[in-house]
A = this chain, B = another copy of it.
Amino acid sequence: METLIKEPTTRNAKNTFNMIIESAINLFYKNGYHGTTVNNITQEAGIAAGTFYLYFPSKLSLYKHILIMFSHNIRRTIAANVAEKVTRYEKEREGLKSFIMLAKENPQMYNIIWESLYIDRALFKDYYESFAKRYIKGLNNSVKREEIRALDTEVVSYILMGVANFIGLKVVLDLGDNNDDIEHIVDVYMDLIKHGLFQ
């Protein structure tokens, strides 16, 4: 409906388009969606306010565009890294590690995706449900191959997604003491899901 974006064609226009997106990503991260005005964005991008509306019909449509870009990016990156691994154990390790590294290198991404819960709940749901769907498929395969135990894979997928997200949060927000070595965190996690918590 409102989400139609006028994709630029010429070299210069493409440049402007990308500047808008880049500026918006940084400002949304720093000040949040509601704390960022269209004028902030255009100023940061070095263009006039009106130029914004040549490409995006509204501030919200820009936000949605960025969100969709990011979610493709995350899924693609993680899927590619995980596909290189063979065993479920290695896949699990790689999945968490890729996610945390993405979050750390690109905290804007992490932040903007979570904020969608308060801007467009449907987008948020779509994102996590389709993420979960893929995850569940992978887990089901591993159950068939008898690599992992036959637990309810839907519940397991949400448990493991929860872990990744919260650790991502910890890394992004510098929660806790935080000299956090990603390898160390991933090691603790793998130890936990391999041997369990209890003696």
Contact = CB atoms under 8 A, between A and B. Distances in A.
A161 B32 CA distance: 25
A197 B199 contact: no
B176 A166 contact: no
A7 interface: no
Nearest to A185: B155
A150 B191 CA distance: 11
Given A163-B159, A173-B121, A188-B151, A194 B194 contact: no
**Interface class of chain A by DSSP:** helix
Nearest to A132: B176
A193 B199 contact: no
A1 B168 CA distance: 32
Interface residues of A, number: 54
B192 A194 contact: no
Contacts of A177: 154
28 contacts: A32-B118, A34-B118, A115-B117, A115-B118, A118-B118, A121-B173, A125-B175, A129-B175, A129-B176, A148-B197, A149-B195, A149-B196, A149-B198, A155-B167, A155-B185, A156-B192, A158-B166, A158-B170, A158-B175, A159-B163, A159-B166, A159-B189, A161-B166, A162-B166, A165-B165, A165-B166, A194-B198, A196-B196
